[in-house]
Structure 1
Amino acid sequence: MAAAKALAQILDLPALNIDTALKTLDTLGEIHLRKGAPAADGPLVLAPQDPHPDDIALSSAVHHRIHTGHYTAGQALPTGLLSTEFALRPEHADRALRHLTRTGLIHYNPHGPHGPAYYVAPRTSENSA
């Protein structure tokens, strides 16, 4: 990645370390490493409320499935199946679902009835839009 090499030269650090750090920030949803963009563009820094561009399809599908009754209140979301369906690594599916928790449609419960998982929240006037 040209941006990592340029940054490594500026910071006088190994390019591998910079590349690893950028990939970690991308996984966390802090930046988006734009594939195919000119090197001068560098990574896109995301605001906390912005979804990662790679997560939009999964987030939209889960949102739609909740509102159409495919997923119901209290149901654990099938995160493994969702990551496979949307060709995302499990940590990226988790990143997309974390973004959906901000809407109140789902919540993460480490001690839920089906184990640690994202669960569909009960419908309220705030999350029914």
Structure 2
Amino acid sequence: MENSIDFEEPLTAQRCSQSLSSVEDAIYVIGGKWKLKIIIALQEHGNIRFNELQRIVSGISARVLSNELKDLELNGFVKRIVHSEQTPVVVEYISTDYSKTLKTVIMALSEWGRIHKKNLKEDVFEK
């Protein structure tokens, strides 16, 4: 297991500060318990109505899902589609092309999580 990060350029205080700021911004936008789960569900299932999405993301309340969807829509990850020509009005949610740019991030996090869980099970960390 490698413990160092390979930077292309020497790590300066300014570059470190910029990197930390960028990571903080990313975590602010996609962090929390539910946002990535919602994004992944939308990417896997396509157009989803609210109640169906709530069933897929098990354990989330309607209020929290509504707030998370608003945040994700504001940040360009989710598009809300209203079919007002139907009665009753149908509202669907869909992931945007922009949300698909997170695929490599999600895959990297998934791989890291798998390795971390394996390390915990094997008790490779010093105590």
TM-score (norm 1): 0.39
Larger radius of gyration: 2
Please identify which structure carries the higher helix content: 2
TM-score, normalised to structure 2, is 0.39
